[in-house]
Amino acid sequence: MAGSLGRGAMLAHWLGCALICAFVLAAEGCASLPKEVPRQQSEALADPATTALGRLVAQSSPDPALSGFHVIASGEEAYGTLISLADHATRTLDLQYYLIEADESSREILLHVRAAAERGVRVRVLVDDLHSDDGKDRAFLRFAGHRNIEVRMFNPFPAGRFSKLTRVLSSATDVRRLNRRMHNKAFIADNALAMTGGRNIGDAYFLRAPEQNFVDLDVIAAGPAVRRLSAAFDRYWNNPLAVPVETLANPAQATDSAAATGASSSRPGPALVSTEAESKRIDAQGMTPPGKIDARASFLGRQFAAGGKLALEWASASVMVDAPSKAAPDQAPAAGETMSKELGRTLSGARQEVILISPYFIPGDRGVTWMADLVKRGVKVRVLTNSLAATDAPIVHVGYRRYRRDLLRAGVELHELKSRPGRPQKIIGDYTSSQATLHVKAAVADRTNLFVGSMNFDPRSASQNTETGLIIHSAKLAQQVAQLFAGVIDDNSYLLRLSEQGTVQWVDGRGDQAAVFDTEPDTSWQKRLWIDVLAPFTPEQLL
């Protein structure tokens, strides 16, 4: 699955590097970043008001100082939003993602992006390089062959790009740099409208995967917040760590038509883009191909079709984006250039309630102390994360479970998502036929301030990955996410508690009908044993 290629594979990758460094002394065979890379600097559209989207946003806004927002919890809704943004852009499209999968959803979205390029839209695609093996170079190189499309890989593996093993071998002496990844997510149209939050691009993020899907959260943004997102995109795009795919990939690979275009391929692989003819057909029709999710049925699609003003929630907001230098171990970000501290200040100001939602939740001793202090001040602290059965990265569970007892002793209300829903959640979308995995990164303070972004509440997000997030000062939107939290914990999560002997228990249900488990629910003894074996050897800072 897409998510399991993140935390679990990353840790295995770096442990493999450590072993190689210990036993292979041929360091001269390891590659480093190219010193001189030809690249053109470019910036976001300076005046979005000259575009149809910019004019629509301007006429919809009650105050030019406010930004407009709409919460997207449904995977189908998120998919339709990206299609709508691509179809309505007239000048620029900027995409920044940790992961773009090689599957049907990615292919369809990039097909619409390519159709926009055919209309003359300038397209910039910035992708973290961790998952560009298995032939994706060919697809991205082909995609970048369009005169209006550029693709850059962030913090790349400079050699051995044709397999995971060769990438590990070639990067064995550069682990400190390559352990830092660009985890940001943003899809920006004409510097006027954007979608940002927790989702990558791939089937599982849009509830279209047969076996495992991600419960996630994004927001549509309009107005000043988008311009700040674009300014942050420019800083990453023009950073030395953003390397054009042409510099990294073999140009001969772009001629591999079947792999590069993904034309009529039924097997898994780098089917990222479609043929030029199909792209032009989509551009001419301005709609999703037959048999696919109709983007016009999404919130944004309906808004565009109805005309008039956009029905967004207008509020003040803080746009928080880590400095790209966070990804360079020899360039520590300056004070104020990492978002975790700003978010911490906002949540620390809560007086009644803090809700934290994070798929990878490793608070550390400082986090436990912080939450305990909130509880002592009378603040109700409520947390939702993945159960062992639901997580896509079981090895990360090792770090989280170290703190469960301390959190419960401190009075934190702790919930873990079930792997199978007890009751469908209409607002999220239909994932009832597959395993559910939490992927939402959100927080609510006093039901008046809402955080949505790419940042998990764990050491990796705080110190290793670069992240994007919004703090929106809107009671309406904060209440929406609080209601989403309440709906999930009612029927689709376990409530944790301590037994009289001080051991962790999982409670499913309420009152006399509640079932109580003394071991991780819905897991095998082999899986639990494996976690026990890994625990002493798993470095928390890599999770």
Divide the 543 residues of the chain into consecutive groups of 10 and give the mean pLDDT of each group: 48 48 42 77 96 97 97 94 97 97 95 97 96 83 96 90 79 83 97 98 93 93 98 97 89 49 35 56 49 75 92 97 89 65 91 97 95 98 96 91 97 94 61 79 98 95 93 98 93 95 95 92 92 82 68
Query: Could you tell me the pTM of the whole model?
Result: 0.89
Same domain for 170 and 281: yes
Same domain, 302 and 321: no
CB count, 10 Å around CB of 486?
A: 11
Q: What's the pLDDT score for residue 27?
A: 39
**Which of the listed residues 306, 340, 367 is the one where a domain comes to its end?**
306
> What integer pLDDT is reported at residue 5 of this predicted model?
42
- The answer to whether residue 59 sits within a structural domain is no
Rounded CA gap, 525 and 418, in Å? 17
Full domain range(s) for residue 270: 3-28+65-306
The last residue of one of the domains, among 306, 339, 358, is 306
Q: Is residue 56 part of a domain?
A: no
Q: Are residues 123 and 182 in the same domain?
A: yes
Query: Interhelix angle for 7-23 vs 394-401, to 10°?
Result: 90
Residue type, 399: G
Q: Where are the alpha helices (DSSP H) in 69-127?
A: 75-88, 104-118
Counted domains in the chain: 2
Residue 42 placed within a domain: no
Picking from 248, 273, 306, the residue at the C-terminal end of a domain is 306
119 and 234 part of one domain:
yes
- Note the pLDDT of residue 329: 78
SS3 (DSSP) at 213 = strand
Residues 420 and 342 in one domain: yes
Q: Let me know if residue 118 belongs to a domain.
A: yes
> Within a domain: residue 205?
yes
Looking at the structure, tell me whether residues 509 and 382 fall in a common domain.
yes
Q: Degrees (nearest 5) of the Cα angle 389, 393, 397?
A: 70
Positions marked catalytic: 183, 185, 190, 439, 441, 446
Helices (H), 286-403: 299-306, 339-348, 364-376, 394-401
Helices 75-88 and 299-306 sit at what angle, rounded to 10 degrees?
40
The answer to whether position 52 is within a domain reads no
Q: Which residues are paired to 95 by β-bridges? A: 125, 187
Q: Are residues 103 and 178 in the same domain?
A: yes
Shared domain for 125 and 169, answered yes or no, is yes
CATH of the domain at 283: 3.30.870.10
Q: Which residue, among 404, 402, 425, has the nearest Cα to 416 in the 3D structure? A: 404
Q: What is the pLDDT of residue 261?
A: 37
Task: Let me know whether 437 and 486 are in one domain.
Answer: yes
Within a domain: 293 = yes
365 in a domain, yes or no?
A: yes
Same domain, 281 and 323: no
Is there a single domain that holds both residue 152 and residue 270? yes
| Shared domain check, 208 and 287 | yes
